[in-house]
Amino acid sequence: MPRRRAVVAFDKFRGSATALELVRAVANAARERGWAADEVPLADGGEGSLVALGGANKVSVVTDPLGDPVEAEWRLDGRTAFIEMAAASGLEVVGGAAGNDPIAADTFGTGELITNAIELGARTVYVMLGGSATTDGGFGAIRAMPPVARLKGVDLVVACDVGTLFTSAASVFGSQKGATLSQVKLLTGRLERLVQVYSDQFGVDVSEAPGAGAAGGLAGGLMAVGARLESGFEVLAEHARLDVLLEGASLAITGEGLLDQESFNGKVVGGVADWARAEGVPVLAIVGARDPGVEVPANVEVVVLSDRFGEDESWNRTVELAADVAGEAIASIS
């Protein structure tokens, strides 16, 4: 009988475990029980994507959201660059919502990173969104980038982690970035004006494109200068050749910190479930917590660590418990 094989494809558990830590531990648990295991750390295009891709190998000093210098890590593989906008323009860079100025915060530093990557020879640039401090519609990034004519030979790809529309960015995410109700209204008006600016300057209508509101509208701004918007999960899954790894697999093991309805709308667990279903592979999803009422596909079995082990244990021993759960599931199949 052929050796059984698991494809281990986790997202991070925010605050308690990285995707890399989880896939290594769970894959080792599979191997200890005689299975082969493929390690596939994943993300949805937001924070953690760079780690899932193998980590940074470049550092650039750029401008943070409020105008101060910041060392931002990114990755260059040959002529392909991977940039996490949060490294330059993220909310954590300014100390969270309490340290942010949601009106002044801009994406100039992300534009500087894109420019640096192009100057170092990148001809495909992936910009991964999520965790932004900004709602500037990408206007700051555009100011820091080469003229549109100089981008013609560059394949600029935006990995979106949400489907938010451009002019909805402030109302959906503004409060998380410290914006008051009156500031949300002001930011929304600014985004509405940028729709017209981008149409006039670049001939691109960003108003109805799903995902254009990601990272405070940075996705839409980059779309205006020629970027393609893609699902962040699919960008990383294709880079990892997840579809090839799933062929002939006995089990896919995935997970994330919180399973909610968004998990099946472009996030890692839902993406793995979809890709695994196409190959007829069952899925074990190990999650930290689960929102009630979440509908789970028929090919997915869910184990909730906080339900089984308690909230404190699941938070403090995430990696160990995930490996234990996976090991038990594999033992029941073997």
Per-residue pLDDT at 334 exceeds 70: no
Reported as a single tens digit per residue, the pLDDT across 115-131 is: 999 999 999 999 999 89
Residue 71, phi-psi category: left (phi > 0), alpha (psi -120 to 50), beta (remainder) = beta
* In a shared domain, residues 53 and 37: no
* In a shared domain, residues 267 and 165: no
* In a shared domain, residues 319 and 186: no
Mean pLDDT of 33-48: 91
Which of 181, 214, 233 is a domain's end point?
Answer: 233
Which of 233, 256, 280 is a domain's end point?
Answer: 233
Query: Which candidate, 57, 52, 71, places its Cα nearest to that of 10?
Result: 52
> Residue 195 has what pLDDT?
98
Reported as a single tens digit per residue, the pLDDT across 43-92 is: 888 778 888 888 899 999 999 999 999 999 999 999 999 999 999 999 99
* In a shared domain, residues 58 and 198: yes
* In a shared domain, residues 60 and 203: yes
Contact 39, 26 (CB under 8 A): no
Reported as a single tens digit per residue, the pLDDT across 140-199 is: 999 999 998 889 899 999 998 788 999 999 999 999 999 999 999 999 999 999 999 999
Which of 233, 265, 287 is a domain's end point?
Answer: 233
* In a shared domain, residues 88 and 228: yes
In which element (H, E) is residue 118 found? Answer: helix 108-119
Average of per-residue pLDDT values in the chain? 94
* In a shared domain, residues 216 and 166: yes
Reported as a single tens digit per residue, the pLDDT across 137-149 is: 999 999 999 998 8
Reported as a single tens digit per residue, the pLDDT across 285-308 is: 999 999 988 989 999 999 999 999
Which string of b and e fits 181-196 if b means at least 16 CB within 10 Å? eebbebbbebbeebbe
Per-residue pLDDT at 1 exceeds 60: no
* In a shared domain, residues 89 and 135: yes
> Residue 14 has what pLDDT?
86
CATH of the domain at 255: 3.40.50.10350
Q: Which two tokens stand for residue 180?
A: 């008051």
CATH of the domain at 208: 3.90.1510.10
Structural domain count, the chain: 2
> Residue 265 has what pLDDT?
82
Reported as a single tens digit per residue, the pLDDT across 250-280 is: 999 999 999 998 888 888 999 999 999 999 9
* In a shared domain, residues 251 and 143: no
> Residue 193 has what pLDDT?
98
> Residue 2 has what pLDDT?
67
* In a shared domain, residues 134 and 18: no
Residue 318, phi-psi category: left (phi > 0), alpha (psi -120 to 50), beta (remainder) = alpha
Query: What's the domain range around 88?
Result: 49-233
* In a shared domain, residues 191 and 85: yes
Considering just the CA atoms, what is the radius of gyration of the chain in Å? 20
* In a shared domain, residues 111 and 219: yes
| E strand spans, the chain | 5-10, 36-39, 58-63, 69-77, 80-84, 124-128, 155-160, 228-231, 251-259, 283-290, 300-304
pTM: 0.88
Could you give the count of Cα atoms lying within 13 Å of 195 in the half-sphere of its Cβ?
17
